[in-house]
């Protein structure tokens, strides 16, 4: 993994609220590693599309996957794309409606991806994606067959041009509004795993594996 600061380009520099920009590459890694879903922005036949999809990070490469027949994945290697990951951390409730906001952490990656064709890297990319979504699952589930691999496309996007933006803390009201008899503060938002629901066709006697029963361990 690289220790260089995040890139400073026209697309990654913040035009407003520059104090919310984080330039340490470890902040980018932390946001990506905590997420499960990204949004892939690509132009198809002159029209923009934003596709939610799973992803995985390996070093300074982000992998996304989908059907080998998906127009979004097939069009992406011929153009610049944008991938976004966002965490909602809280609703910021101010005394005035104008100053309501949200606390969040977001990462945006720009670049031209490449279609992964080598079998070893394709496996490695799929491993990164599966372990991002459900850590420990790669080692217990059946591996993909050659037919399934052929039906799956994997894109690799370098983390060379990226920006991180974070909003934290309480609301920032107008000075005169602090005297109002109105509650203000932050309503935290957390994402949590629920109780595993077994497949209705699961054979009796098969227990929930530890990495699913306690995904936070």
pLDDT in tens, the chain (217 residues): 566 788 888 888 877 777 787 888 999 999 999 999 999 999 999 999 999 999 999 999 999 999 989 988 889 999 999 999 999 999 999 999 999 999 999 999 999 999 999 999 999 999 999 999 999 999 999 999 999 999 999 999 999 999 999 999 999 999 999 999 999 999 999 999 999 999 999 999 999 999 998 876 5
Which CATH number is 74's domain given?
2.30.110.10
CA distance 151 to 116: 13
Q: Which of 154, 160, 136 is nearest to 59 (CA)?
A: 160
Asked if residue 163 is part of any domain, the answer here is yes
Q: Where are the alpha helices (DSSP H) in the chain?
A: 25-34, 71-75, 119-133, 146-150, 210-213
Asked if residue 63 is part of any domain, the answer here is yes
Asked if residue 2 is part of any domain, the answer here is no
Asked if residue 9 is part of any domain, the answer here is no
pTM, two decimals, is: 0.91
Contacts of 111 (CB under 8 A, 6+ apart): 80, 81, 157, 158, 160, 161
Asked if residue 80 is part of any domain, the answer here is yes
pLDDT recorded at residue 158: 96
pLDDT recorded at residue 188: 98
Q: Contact, 32 vs 128, CB < 8 A?
A: no
Asked if residue 194 is part of any domain, the answer here is no
Strands (DSSP E) contained in 45-131 are 47-58, 61-67, 81-93, 101-111, 114-115
Asked if residue 100 is part of any domain, the answer here is yes
Q: Which domain holds residue 158?
A: 18-171+204-213
Asked if residue 188 is part of any domain, the answer here is no
CA distance 143 to 2: 31
Number of structural domains (the chain) is: 1
pLDDT recorded at residue 6: 86
């Amino acid at each position: 993994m690289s220790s260089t600061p995040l890139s400073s380009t026209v697309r990654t520099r913040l035009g407003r609220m520059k104090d919310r920009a984080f330039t340490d590459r470890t902040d980018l890694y932390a946001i990506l590693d905590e997420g499960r879903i990204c949004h892939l922005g690509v132009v198809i036949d002159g029209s923009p599309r934003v596709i939610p999809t799973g992803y995985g990070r390996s070093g300074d490469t982000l992998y996304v996957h989908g059907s080998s027949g998906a127009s979004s994945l097939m069009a992406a290697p011929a153009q610049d794309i944008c991938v976004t990951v966002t965490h909602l951390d809280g609703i910021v409730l101010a005394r005035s409606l104008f100053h309501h906001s949200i606390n969040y952490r977001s990462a945006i990656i720009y670049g031209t991806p490449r279609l992964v064709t080598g079998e070893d890297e394709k496996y490695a990319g799929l491993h990164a994606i599966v372990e991002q979504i459900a850590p420990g699952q790669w080692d217990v589930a059946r591996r993909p067959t050659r037919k399934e691999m052929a039906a799956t496309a994997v894109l690799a996007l370098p983390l060379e041009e990226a920006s991180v933006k974070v909003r934290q803390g309480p609301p920032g009201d107008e000075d005169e509004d602090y005297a109002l008899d109105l509650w203000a503060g932050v309503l935290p938002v957390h994402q949590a795993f629920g109780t595993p629901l077994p497949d209705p066709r699961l054979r009796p006697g098969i227990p929930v594996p530890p990495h699913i029963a306690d995904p936070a361990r």
